[in-house]
Every structure is written in C-alpha cells, then in structure tokens.
C-alpha cells in the first residue's frame, strides 16, 4: 500500500547567514535563520516522508534544542528519513515540492537541488520534483521576510509487515 505524507516549513530571512535550499548555497544577501542550515526545502520533504510513515515531524527527531544539530546540513535529516523507510521495508516512490520565495530566482539552481535531494534519499532523480514560485509580493514571502516550502512524498509500504 502506498502512503502519502505532506510537509511544510518556513524560516525567516536574516543577514549574516548563507541561503541554503535543497542543499545548494545560493548567492543572496540574506540567509535562512534556524538551528541547522535552515534548509526549508529539505525540511518540508523530510516532514513529508516522515508523515507518510505516520511518524512525528522533523522537530521530534532533530530538536533545535540539541546541540548536535547546530549548523547541521539538512541532507542528514533526509538520510535518516530514508533510513526509517528502509527499516520498515518500504520504498520512497517519489517526492514533490514547491518553494515559495519572492527572491532570489531559483530556477537556475533546481537541477542541483534535485541531485542533492535524490542522493540524500537514495532515489533516482526522476522521482524528485522541485518547483519554485513567488507569492506575487503578498505576505511574508512577498515582502522577502522569509521563505516557505511545501512537499508531498509517497512511500510504498507493501512489503512492510
């Protein structure tokens, strides 16, 4: 049986941080605030995979109160989500995500994001969809105060007991 999970994450844009999305360091005057690298895209995908397993969210597994995760690359979180799927004798069928950001333009970076996410989840790149959109200058994303991402993941647990 295929299970579906959804994920959503938001982080504020602040000065003095790198902007990391999908594991790509994107040139921008501001970066995302957070305990880890604050990669909203990978965080949303991680939550989607965990949700498909019926698990708690990323904060349960990697709490921002734990110094081990200070500055950690979010690919570690995706690695662990994939490991949990494998532990349950499951397979990630696909993930699909959208990033909501007024700036910077993300299209030039999407292919590398897909490569990074596919590698972290041990998936064929064809099973990873990434899109970027703006919020037409509306809300916090439109005012360039933060970036959001939403994701879905499907996980086949047919072989699970």
Q: What is the CATH classification number for the domain harbouring 99?
A: 3.30.1330.50
The verdict on residue 11 lying in a domain is yes
- Is the pLDDT reported for residue 27 higher than 90? yes
Q: How many domains does the chain have?
A: 1
> Which pLDDT score is estimated for 159?
76
Reply yes or no: is the peptide bond before residue 95 cis, omega within 30 of 0: no
The verdict on residue 33 lying in a domain is yes
What are the residues facing 155 on neighbouring strands?
3, 92
Average pLDDT, the chain: 95
**The overall pTM is greater than 0.85:** yes
Strand, helix or coil at 133?
strand
Q: Computed from CA positions of residues 4, 6, 58, 95, in that sequence, does the dihedral angle turn out positive or negative? A: positive
- Is the pLDDT reported for residue 160 higher than 70? no
The verdict on residue 161 lying in a domain is no
The verdict on residue 103 lying in a domain is yes
Unique residue bearing structure tokens 């041990």: 122
Q: What is the per-residue pLDDT across 79-109, written as a single tens digit (0 to 9) for each?
A: 999 999 999 999 999 999 999 999 999 999 9
* Pick from 110, 104, 35: nearest CA to 43: 35
Give the H/E segment covering residue 114. helix 110-121
Share of the chain above pLDDT 90, in %: 88
Q: What is the per-residue pLDDT across 136-146, written as a single tens digit (0 to 9) for each?
A: 999 999 999 99
Token digits for 51?
A: 């949700």
**Residue 60 burial class via C-beta count within 10 angstroms: exposed 0-12, middle 13-18, buried 19 and up:** exposed
For 150, what's the count of Cα atoms within 13 Å in the CB-facing half-sphere? 3
Residue 79 structural domain: 2-156
Q: What is the per-residue pLDDT across 34-58, written as a single tens digit (0 to 9) for each?
A: 999 999 999 999 999 999 999 999 9
């Amino acid at each position: 049986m295929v299970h579906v999970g959804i994920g959503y994450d938001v982080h504020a844009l602040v000065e003095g941080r790198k902007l990391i999305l999908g594991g790509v360091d994107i040139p921008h005057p501001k970066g995302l605030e957070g305990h880890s690298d604050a990669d909203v895209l990978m965080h949303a995908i991680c939550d989607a995979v965990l949700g498909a397993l019926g698990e708690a969210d990323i904060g349960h597994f990697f709490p921002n109160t734990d110094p081990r995760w200070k500055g950690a690359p979010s690919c570690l979180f995706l690695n662990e989500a994939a490991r949990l799927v494998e532990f349950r004798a499951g397979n990630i069928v696909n993930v699909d995500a959208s990033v909501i950001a007024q700036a910077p333009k993300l299209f030039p970076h999407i292919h590398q994001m897909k490569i990074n996410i596919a590698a972290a989840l041990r998936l064929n790149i064809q099973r990873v969809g990434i899109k970027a959109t703006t919020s037409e200058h509306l809300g916090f994303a439109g005012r360039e105060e933060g970036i959001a991402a939403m994701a879905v993941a499907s996980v086949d647990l047919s072989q699970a007991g």
